[in-house]
Structure 1
Amino acid sequence: MADPAQFGHDRLAHLLSDRLLSVPRFQRGYAWETFNIHEFLDDLKTARGESQPYFMGTVVLSDDPVDPGRQIIVDGQQRLTTTAILIAAVRDRLRDLGKSEPAEVIDRKFLKTFDLEEEDDVTRLKLNAENLSSYEAILSGNVPALPKDPIVQCYRACMDHLNDLAPAVASYRELISIVTHLDNSVQVLLAVASGLPEAYVIFETLNDRGADLTTADLLKNYLFSQSKTYLDHVEQQWSKIAAEFDKPEDLVKFIRYEHSSREGKVTTRKLYKVLQSSIGRGPRRVRDYVSQLEGSLDSYAALKEPDSDFWGHTDVDVRDSLLAFRRFGFESSMPLLLAVLNSWEITPAAKMINKIAGWSVRSWFAGRLGGGTAEEVFCEAALRVTSGQARTQDQVLDAVRKLIPEDQEFRRSVITFGAVSTGRAKYLLSQLERQHLAVRGLNSEAQPDWSGKSVSIEHVIAKSSTIENFGSRSEFERFQAVANSLQNYTLLERTLNRKLEDRPFKEKTSAYLQSKFHLTRELGSSDGWSISASDKRAEDLANLAVKAWPYR
């Protein structure tokens, strides 16, 4: 049985003098920006001036099974690296001022030591390959001419700070006080685990904000630490996956949705622990998980990109549906979409995607997509798809039925719905236009692309209308309630919409009659427009909506 984790207090610089530490090769490199470094230096200066201890959070270390003489930094890399660079800058500034003896004492105590086995100097803090060469060059006294290197930037910021504090030899004691303060008074809560998996759990428990590591970092470190003989393979696959995402939180979102598509809903907060339990330990299980994750990447990317070549394998057009997911933020259905794409043939899967988009629109109008209920329902449906229990649209509908309003409720929700953003209105009206043409047996292929800049949203009754434009105060108040609702919107080509926004309805009809959108041309055929006519239009659009996004 592994030794239990050890907890206690220590001081930041004392960690460097008392231990040999290393940043694992698979952990991200130094990432503090200049403002982080200045904040750190200013805080230390304030604490020294007040002769006060300064608490610098938690440091989590793990025993290194590969190098028993060192401990791995799981949490605290940024602080420890910045501290070591600051101490190196203090050493160099002391040398500049001719104080070589204290400079050498600092160098030997905090930065380097002599290893009897290797019969050579070794660095007390060993960074990973990304930062190693710059850091060791600084330790050797040869600062690289790499202005964009984060390690070099940190050193330059520290040296500028020290030049201000000790501009001449008379103030060299200011430099020594920095190191003394770091060694005696800058405190940390220290946790030392017997292995990496335990260390990551400690980190997540103690540091909810993930100041030094994200959930993605935690998972990566866990996978790499368990992959052993498959490390190169797993590292290559992980790099390919991570490269698809600009932000760590987007990568985490993909990982969460992929897991939820197979095993049910999991929150971001619990994701790491759940995955650790689900994946288990051992190189083969890690290899299989990362391969599975990579296998879902193409599907996930295609769901985010309507024009992806992925959709060239089917004649079913999903572009409008995928744009709807994006514009409405229909994220709760993502696990179900992934499950369908990963479990079904592409054509029935594409048809199911369109159906899920329609159900999501219905649920959105009815106000059923808020909270966590929607995601739980969609994740339950995803489980049925993944397990093979749901192989048809009707079987999926059975799993999500409580979320989806039937026709009567949906129609009522459309009529009474309030303000809609213009981006969402463009999608909604385009689908209603398409349904309107289908009812009349007309072709919709020649319509302008609703999602492009050439199509705009026009307010039928000008948004700037005042009470003088209405027959009574009640009519004006009714207008105010529906001014930005679907019934007061229409699609119009941008070339026809110039300077129409504030004009009375009668001055807009000639432009409406030139539109390629049939619903807009019908508006142009009207002799006049009133609130009662607008309410009648709401009912007509609701009737179309029931058919445009059918329940079955």
Structure 2
Amino acid sequence: MPRYQRRYAWESQNIKDFWNDITNTSDPHFFGSMVTSGAAAAPREVIDGQQRLTTAIIALSVLRDLYAEIGSAPRVTGINEYLEYNDRDGHRNHRLRNKDVSAASRLNDNVLLEKKQRATSPGYDSEALESQAYKTFETLVRDELSGTNDATAQLDNIRDAILETEVVYINVEDRKNAFTIFETLNDRGKSLTVMDLVKNLLFAEIASSDEDSSERAWSDILEKLDDLTFEGMTPDFFLYYAWNSRHHPGHASTDLIEQARLRRSIADQIATSTDRDVSAQDLIGGLSIDAKILAGLNRTLTSNGSADTWRELATAWRRDDYEDISSRLYGILVAGSLQPLPLLLSLMRAYLRERAGISRKTLLKFLTVTESFQFRWSIAQKPSTSTIRRLYRQAAASVSAGSSKPDFEAALSSFVAAADRIDASNAQFRDGISRLAYSKTRAKDTFKIRYILTRIEESYQSTTLNLSRQLSLEHLQGLEGRSEATARNSWIFKIGNLALLPPEVNADLPKEFADKCAELSNWVNAEDETLIDAISSKVWNSEQSNERLSDIVQRALQLWPRIQV
């Protein structure tokens, strides 16, 4: 099983469908076609069939363990012959071998080890899909056994149904032809994604002598994508953002390359190269860089803008170089939109490269403008449109094509001019802030509210709060017995009624505002005049909250000004 294969992906319903296929008919189940590549006498590379072969191995492992449970040692030995074999030196080897070490470990530790060994294995992961598939199949088999007096015979029937499954194997020595056949025949299991199709396209061009490093790079890409926490991020969306972050000769910089056209665009680029092998390897290398940068952006978001997230990628990392950069990146990402990703990928790629890269000064200008534009757009709740997607695509392509200070400054000027034409108005931004609410039904607003209050606190001359940590949001007027759906209570959930506090302080605050005042006075900024006056009088109501909301809006308009040419 090559490294570039996607992770095992069958879920409970897929396993149940397979179970029904093998148990609800007296005829052999047709498992479909499987495509392999390689000489007939050598181990074959699995091009198509990874998910189904892995599932069959999992099912047989369940039967092996149940045979062992009822004391049928000969049948355990028989099943093991389908899972392992002795090579010519007498060493035991798995029949299905994953070249990717993590995939091999997941299958071994969660499935192939005998049950008593698996329970104590440090690599056992009950949440891994391999483990979940094992549990689902085990439950189905145990349910089947509960109604029989002859467990051995019933297990034999299930075993035979699996082993008598019919498969059409297509082996092609030429890998490129194997991938072509794979795409033509793949109509079972999980549908091919755009990422799958591009993988097939690229590896079909790479000579077998060059494939190892590219396989490792592709496996690393998939692992990094699995670890991302961006909402809605999939390998296909990664490919969309990464490809649209680059300049492509023959494509207009304003021409968004939609997902349906990605494979064709990549194929066209390879077709025009003088060395298709090298071109495919270079493309994989480029995607590997983009996956690393995307992982860095993800860590920037989850760490509240920590500069440490770029230590692994920067060849000469210094905290003071990356603190402002990470802060601006966080401000762009915290609003929850993925639209700016092509530009962010292009900018960070240009900054991290050793030659002909963008300067820190120009990068910060670009990020500051982008943050103000994107944050205003998101807060104003303006929709994702082709206009804003083209704006980011054009800027990303220009930065990607740049190699000198004038190039990058021209890209920035063009971006500012285009953003100015569609920027959210101050009235839209103001209304958006006024609509923000911190409640159980508005969880996504929490990050935006905390960021606005944090940036405002940073803008004050001094603060008693440690802004490098994640602070809690405190409802100054408590929520007890008040419904968000009631109009007269709406102000309680709005930003005017919220304050930043250390989590440990917030946890011990009394419920009533008057009782909170002594502790609040230790943390509320002296420049937060409306709240300071309320603490002094120990009185807080909707009028004061709305007045403070107006103060917050005015500060926000200064911190996130409208784009101007």
What TM-score does the superposition give when structure 1 sets the normalisation length?
Answer: 0.67
Q: Quote the offset at 1:428 in angstroms.
A: 0.5
Q: Distance in 2 between matches of 1:511 and 1:428?
A: 22
Shift of 1:418: 5.1
**Contact 1:325–1:331 (CA under 8 A) maintained in structure 2:** no
Alignment correspondent of 1:461: 477
TM-aligned CA distance change 1:53 to 1:431, over 3 Å = same
Is structure 2 residue 245 aligned with structure 1 residue 261?
yes
The answer to whether the 8 A contact 1:215-1:252 is kept is yes
**Is structure 2 residue 206 aligned with structure 1 residue 233?**
no
Q: Does 1:354 align with 2:368?
A: yes
Is 2:206–2:277's contact at 8 Å kept on the other side of the alignment? yes
1:513 aligns with 2:521: yes
Deviations 1:136-184 (A, max 9, x none): x9xxxx9999646979x979x89x969969999997698478647864x
- Deviation of 1:539 after TM superposition, in Å, equals 2.2
CA distance in 1: counterparts of 2:432 and 2:5, whole angstroms: 50
Contact 1:29 1:130 (8 Å CA) reproduced: no
- What runs of 5+ residues in structure 2 fail to find an aligned partner? 125-129, 248-254, 301-305, 312-316, 351-357
Report the residue type matching 1:201 in the other structure.
Answer: E
Select which of 198, 203, 207 maps to 2:180: 198
2:415 paired residue number: 396
Residue 379 of structure 1 aligns to which amino acid in structure 2? R
Alignment partner of 1:59: what SS?
Answer: strand
CA deviation string 1:450-492 (max 9, x = no partner): 3624x3222233333769xxxxxxxx96542222111221223
Any residues of structure 2 matched to 1:116-515 within 5 Å, and which? 127-129=97-99, 147=118, 175=156, 179=160, 183=164, 195-202=177-184, 206=187, 209-210=190-191, 219-228=198-207, 229-247=209-227, 253-262=237-246, 265-266=256-257, 271-272=262-263, 274-280=265-271, 282-304=276-298, 305=300, 306-308=306-308, 309=311, 310=317, 312=319, 314=321, 317-343=324-350, 344-370=358-384, 374-388=388-402, 391=409, 393-417=412-436, 421-435=445-459, 437=460, 443-444=461-462, 446-450=463-467, 452-453=469-470, 455-464=471-480, 479-494=488-503, 496-497=505-506, 499-500=508-509, 502-504=511-513, 506-515=514-523
- Check the 8 A contact 2:34/2:167 in 1, yes or no: no
Aligned mates of 2:531, 2:59 — CA distance in 1:
71
**1:450/1:207 CA distance change after superposition, 3 Å:** farther
Distance (whole Å) between structure 1 residues aligned to residue 448 and residue 151 of structure 2: 68
- Provide the C-alpha distance between the structure 2 equivalents of 1:378 and 1:323, rounded to a whole number of angstroms: 17
Letter aligned with residue 409 of structure 2: R
What does residue 7 of structure 1 align with? none
Aligned residues: 482
For the 8 Å contact 1:61–1:75, the answer to whether it is kept is: yes
- Taking structure 1 as reference, are residues 466 and 346 closer, same or farther at Cα in structure 2, changes over 3 Å only? closer
Q: Distance in 2 between matches of 1:61 and 1:356?
A: 47
- Mapped to 2, the partners of 1:366 and 1:277 lie a distance apart of 39
Matched AA of 1:431: R
| SS class of match (1:525) | helix
Q: Deviations over 1:305-353 (max 9, x none)?
A: 3322356372761343333345432321111111222332233213322
1:269–1:187 CA distance, 2 compared to 1 (3 A): farther
What is the rounded CA distance, in whole Å, between the counterparts of 1:517 and 1:268 in structure 2?
49
Partner of 1:540: 551
Q: CA deviation at 1:191?
A: 8.7
Structure 1 runs of 4+ with >6 Å offset: 29-33, 35-38, 68-71, 84-93, 96-100, 130-134, 142-146, 148-151, 165-171, 187-194
C-alpha contact (below 8 Å) 1:362/1:549 kept by paired residues: yes
- 2:477/2:492 contact within 8 Å kept: yes
How far apart in 1 are the matches of 2:390 and 2:189? 24
Q: What is the letter of the counterpart of residue 48 of structure 2?
A: D
- Give the Å deviation of 1:288: 1.6
Query: By how many angstroms is 1:270 displaced?
Result: 6.0
Q: Deviations over 1:420-469 (max 9, x none)?
A: 6333322111212334x3xxxxx34x55233624x3222233333769xx
Q: Deviations over 1:348-385 (max 9, x none)?
A: 21332233222221001211144666434322332233
Q: CA RMSD in A?
A: 5.3
User: What is the deviation of 1:261?
Assistant: 0.6
Q: Which residue of 2 aligns with 1:472?
A: none
Question: CA–CA distance in 2 between the matches of 1:303 and 1:90?
Answer: 45
The alpha-carbon distance between structure 1 residues 316 and 43, as it changes in their structure 2 partners (threshold 3 A), is: closer
How many angstroms does 1:60 deviate by?
A: 4.8
- Partners of 1:32 and 1:333 lie apart in 2 by 32
> What SS class does the counterpart of residue 405 from structure 1 fall into?
coil
SS in 2 for 1:206: coil
Distance between the aligned counterparts of 2:517 and 2:432, measured in 1? 29
In 1: Cα distance, 2:73 partner to 2:478 partner: 78
CA 89–417 in structure 1, closer or farther in 2 if over 3 Å, else same: closer
> Aligned to 1:531, which of 516, 521, 542?
542
- Contact kept? 1:335, 1:379, Cα under 8 Å: yes
Which deviates more from structure 2 when the two are superposed, residues 240-249 or residues 423-432?
240-249
| CA gap 1:170/1:378 in 2 versus in 1, 3 angstroms | closer
Distance in 1 of aligned mates of 2:60 and 2:434: 68
Aligned to 1:3: none
Deviation at 1:549, TM superposition (A): 0.7
Q: Distance in 2 between matches of 1:430 and 1:294?
A: 34
User: Measured at CA, do residues 76 and 403 of structure 1 come closer, stay the same or move farther in structure 2, by a change above 3 Å?
Assistant: farther
Aligned equivalent of 1:440: none
Aligned equivalents of 1:327, 1:45: Cα separation in 2: 48
Could you list the per-position Cα deviations for residues 484-534 of structure 1 after superposition, in whole angstroms to 9, with x for gaps in the alignment? 111221223446545546313x44443333225234465122344433333
State the 1:44 CA deviation.
4.8
SS in 2 for 1:457: strand
Distance 1:429 1:245, change over 3 A: same
- Give the share of equivalent positions with the same residue, in percent: 20
Q: How far apart in 1 are the matches of 2:61 and 2:498?
A: 65
Q: CA deviation at 1:189?
A: 9.2
CA shift for structure 1 position 397: 2.0
Measured after TM superposition, the shift of residue 188 of structure 1 is 7.5
Larger Rg: 1
Q: Tell me the TM-score normalized by structure 2.
A: 0.66
Structure 1 residues 369, 266: closer, same or farther in 2, change over 3 A? same
